[in-house]
Amino acid sequence: MPKEESILFEASLEVDEDARKFLIEAGEDCANLSLVAPPSRLSDELKNRVMENSEPKRDFNLFLESKIINRLRDNYSAPDERYTGGGGSSKLTEIGVAGTEDRLEAIYLDLIALFALVGGNSAAAEGDFGDLKNWIGQSNPLGLVITETLALPLPGEAPPAQSARRSLLAALPSLAFFVDRVGDGSATLADVRRIFYLCRDQLKIMRASFSDLDPARLVDDEELRLHGAGLLRSKWWGAEHAYFSTNGKVRCGHFFDGPVTERCVEFAEYDSNLYCLANLLAKRSGNGEFHLELFKDAIPDGVLAVAMAETSPENHAKVENLTLGVGNNGHAPVNDLALWKLVESSLLRGNHELSAEAIKDVPILGCNRFENSTYLWFTWPSIPNNQDGAQASTGKPGQ
């Protein structure tokens, strides 16, 4: 049951005899099923996720009580008028490079077809990868398409160029990694589930980036529909994440219970920011893992998103230099610099009453090191828990 319905049901148990009988019957039915169901060996992935769920929360006190977070806490306030997403959108035709425009449109259309092959009622969601593998074999390798498209010139830091980079660098590299797994025959059902989430997110990110790419679906994305932290946790918990050739294990905190964004188009932008932070850390983690956490009460009127990984001093310095905009002398990867720029520009839209200069006094994003770990983080305006609006669902495959 959704949380709200479960609370109502638990309350009805106190006064409603029929509800109590229903619960007893349901318990007996489940017990009977356990007696007749054939024995099944738990997958390693399921066992790992259960074990991770029982782990105690990671201690973030050192980070949360640091000088920079205290400065943010003392100075931050949400904008009077909430940003609802889409502010970084441009038109695909405004890129001005025909090859890039054509490739991005082709990627989007391919992902529409891919999404149908991994959805809830698909054969792949039930463990039959035949049709999915055939489609992948007949398509251009996604990883190669990304690399070739990034090699084409983009017009500086203009909105169309940023929209193109967001479309190519946020969720798409990880999606290509898992699609390749299916192609080479090494994929599991968990990989197909990851493809589902990544493909869904990538389609929304691309629609939020280019208003003329799929106007009909974009209209639905712009409808008022609350997106909770649970949606983020469901897709990140215990998952693998890859950035081009490097993959890492994701460990999530317990997050908070409540909405994060008001519309799909806003959620797509928030999502892309998390992917950018994950991409920056995935290939620099010392133990192959990184940790995601969302805090609502740490900052008044704001949600603090944190990506943390154990890193060597050298790798931390590389990340820190990217966030400071230094080291772009041929040694710093251009795409990594672009990832941080995407987050920075998005945060200025989300906190639109702040200027780039004001970030020094109200640090809405940053990079810090505590003990042996790198922390990348940003602050997004929070939504009151009693906000009205429809609730978005995850649409998980096989459920």
CATH code at 266? 3.30.565.10
In the block, which residue shows the tokens 């929070």?
382
CA-closest candidate to residue 190, choices 398, 375, 386, 357: 398
Q: Residues 165, 217: one domain? A: yes
Q: Does 50 map to a domain? A: no
Q: Residues 231, 216: one domain? A: no
Q: Residues 73, 127: one domain? A: no
pTM for the structure as a whole: 0.82
Q: Residues 215, 316: one domain? A: no
What is the rounded distance in angstroms from the CA atom of residue 393 to the CA atom of residue 5? 14
Q: Residues 339, 234: one domain? A: yes
What is the rounded distance in angstroms from the CA atom of residue 320 to the CA atom of residue 373? 12
**Cβ density class 98-128: b for 16+ within 10 Å, e for less:** eebbebbbebbebbeebbebbbeebebbeee
Burial of 286 (0-12, 13-18, 19+ CB in 10 A): middle
Q: Residues 163, 192: one domain? A: yes
What is the rounded distance in angstroms from the CA atom of residue 18 to the CA atom of residue 256? 33
Whether the per-residue pLDDT at 96 is higher than 50: the answer is yes
* Per-state percent for the chain, helix, strand, coil, to nearest 5: 50, 15, 35
Could you tell me the residue range of the domain that residue 144 belongs to? 89-221
Name the CA dihedral angle for 333, 279, 346, 337, rounded to a multiple of 10 degrees.
Answer: -10
Residues in the chain: 399
**Which residues, at least 6 apart from 106, have a Cβ–Cβ distance to it below 8 Å?**
145
In the block, which residue shows the tokens 């799929």?
214
Q: 369 or 255, which is more confident?
A: 369
Q: Does 160 map to a domain? A: yes
What is the rounded distance in angstroms from the CA atom of residue 241 to the CA atom of residue 141? 19
| DSSP string of 117-177, one letter each residue | HHSTTSTGGGT--HHHHHHHHHSPPHHHHHHHHHTS---TTSHHHHHHHHHHHSSHHHHHH
Q: Residues 246, 152: one domain? A: no
pLDDT in tens, 170-228: 999 999 999 999 999 999 998 999 999 999 999 999 999 999 999 999 999 999 999 99
- First CA to last CA across the chain, in angstroms? 13
Q: Residues 6, 78: one domain? A: no
Q: Residues 259, 344: one domain? A: yes
CB 187 within 8 A of CB 181: yes
pLDDT in tens, 135-165: 999 888 888 888 888 888 876 788 999 999 9
CB 152 within 8 A of CB 145: no
Q: In the listed set 171, 188, 221, which residue is the last one of a domain according to the structure?
A: 221
Q: Does 299 map to a domain? A: yes
What is the rounded distance in angstroms from the CA atom of residue 143 to the CA atom of residue 109? 16
Q: Does 44 map to a domain? A: no
Q: Does 43 map to a domain? A: no
pLDDT at 15: 63
Q: 29 or 335, which is more confident?
A: 335
pLDDT at 253: 77
Q: Does 41 map to a domain? A: no
pLDDT at 351: 94
| Residue 375, strand partner residues | 308, 368
Give me the half-sphere count of Cα atoms (radius 13 Å) on the Cβ side of residue 330: 0
Q: Residues 79, 111: one domain? A: no
Q: Residues 189, 286: one domain? A: no
Q: Name which of 6-20, 42-56, 95-109 the model is least confident about.
A: 42-56
Q: Residues 118, 197: one domain? A: yes
Percentage, residues of the chain above pLDDT 70 = 82
CA-closest candidate to residue 209, choices 327, 87, 97: 87
Q: Does 379 map to a domain? A: yes
- pLDDT grade, residue 247 (50/70/90)? confident
Burial of 327 (0-12, 13-18, 19+ CB in 10 A): middle
CB 234 within 8 A of CB 399: no
How many structural domains comprise the chain? 3
Whether the per-residue pLDDT at 291 is higher than 60: the answer is yes
Q: Does 329 map to a domain? A: yes
